[in-house]
Amino acid sequence: MKIFLARHGEVKHNVLKSFNSSDEDLTENGIEQSLKLKDDIKDFNIDLIISSPLKRTMHTANIINKELNIITDNRLRERECGNLSGLTFNKEDKKEYWNYYTSKRYGTEEDIKEFFDRIFKFLDELKEKNYSSVLIVTHSGVTRAFNAYFNGIGDGDFSSKGLKNCEFIEYEF
């Protein structure tokens, strides 16, 4: 099975470089990015679209949809940042936040190992399905967990391993 993994278009918190727990929609630029993504993947043979249920991912999925069913799965939601929501992050904090081996907690954020486990269970279940190719529309953090699933944990530093807005990558089971 081929998996085409795409991140949603730009939202306000991406511009502000801040953590976010709110369910916000795409910016005008995010809509434009989604239209470009639609064009980039127009020749892909996709059986199904699976999306996080949040507005930004569903809006992106609806823009790129070629009249396929869109299934939502709560496990594809972004890592819950808790009381970090609305705070800007610096490079050092972001690196520690996305360190799989860290013991540091900033507040009430979802533990990275539990977050990755949530995504790994989703992928283990998907692997058992009989699809030829699936498009998954989700969040930067989820794309980091996909990276870990397919490429291993390695040094544990996932700070630079997330996709950019409307960037996509292909994986295969």
Question: Known catalytic residue: 8?
Answer: yes
pTM, 2 dp? 0.96
Question: Known catalytic residue: 59?
Answer: no
> pLDDT, tens digit, for every residue of 117-130?
999 999 999 999 99
> pLDDT, tens digit, for every residue of 68-116?
989 999 999 999 999 989 888 777 788 999 999 999 888 899 999 999 9
Q: What is the CATH number of the domain that holds 12?
A: 3.40.50.1240
What percent of the chain shows pLDDT beyond 90? 86
- Counting the structural domains of the chain, the total is 1
> pLDDT, tens digit, for every residue of 36-46?
999 999 999 99
For 5, list phi and psi in degrees, rounded to 5. Answer: -105, 125
Instruction: List the catalytic residue out of 13, 59, 78, 139.
Output: 78
| Residue 157 CA, distance from chain mean position | 17
Beta sheet of 48-51, edge-to-edge order: 70-72, 48-51, 133-138, 2-7, 168-172
Instruction: List the catalytic residue out of 8, 13, 59, 139.
Output: 8
pLDDT tier, 134 (very low <50, low <70, confident <90, very high otherwise) = very high
Domain assignment of residue 162, given as a range: 2-172
